[in-house]
Amino acid sequence: MSPSRLDFYFDFMSPFAYLAFQKLPAICQRHGLELVPHAVNLPKLKLLAGNTAPPNVSLPLKIRYLSKDLERWATLYGVPLVFPKSLASERLNKAFFFAQDRGQGEAFIREAWDRVWGRGVDPADPALLGELAGLFGWAADELNAWVNSADAGERYESETRAAHEAGVFGTPTMIVGDQMWWGNDRLAFMETALEKGL
């Protein structure tokens, strides 16, 4: 039986996950797959995998290269890419679950990333959640209460550990059936496999 879903593991802090998301909905549509997003704690996920290397932003040579590489990808995809003031994505990741439970997860990802990596809005800016709540017709107080709740923290932890148990060690990661691809630059390989029926 052919797989029916594509599991997409992301963290709003990841620009490469932002880029991958520009293509994933169309890929899923072409291959009759349901896009199932999972918000994870990327720094925690790396530690669970034994990756204790410093973050890219603390490595001047690497971030200089990655900045140029991201610019190339954004140009190729025809999308904006602006580095935000911070990469403090925890509250936005938790807010995704609120959207997901209301059947608006994919739209929330699109709008949140449009602001964070498309316009450079700080994901930790308290005004961002208020703006997104208004866009989706939610009560801002209710969204903030969820983000600050123990339930949100437990779900975030659970999703991250489940991702680790599935073999995920970074973002973006895409899983279809028993096949996994890590990185925006693996989308072409993934689609070739899908065309061949995996």
**Residues sharing a CB contact under 8 Å with residue 180, sequence separation 6 or more, in sequence order:** 166, 167, 168, 173, 174
Q: Would you call 14 a catalytic residue per the annotation?
A: yes
Q: Are 167 and 179 in contact (CB under 8 A)?
A: no
Q: Are 143 and 108 in contact (CB under 8 A)?
A: no
- Cα 35 from Cα 125, distance rounded (Å): 28
Which one is catalytic: 2, 4, 14, 67?
14
- Cα 181 from Cα 189, distance rounded (Å): 8
Per the structure block, which two tokens stand in for 10?
Answer: 């992301």
Helix or strand (DSSP H, E) at 117: none
- List the catalytic residues: 14
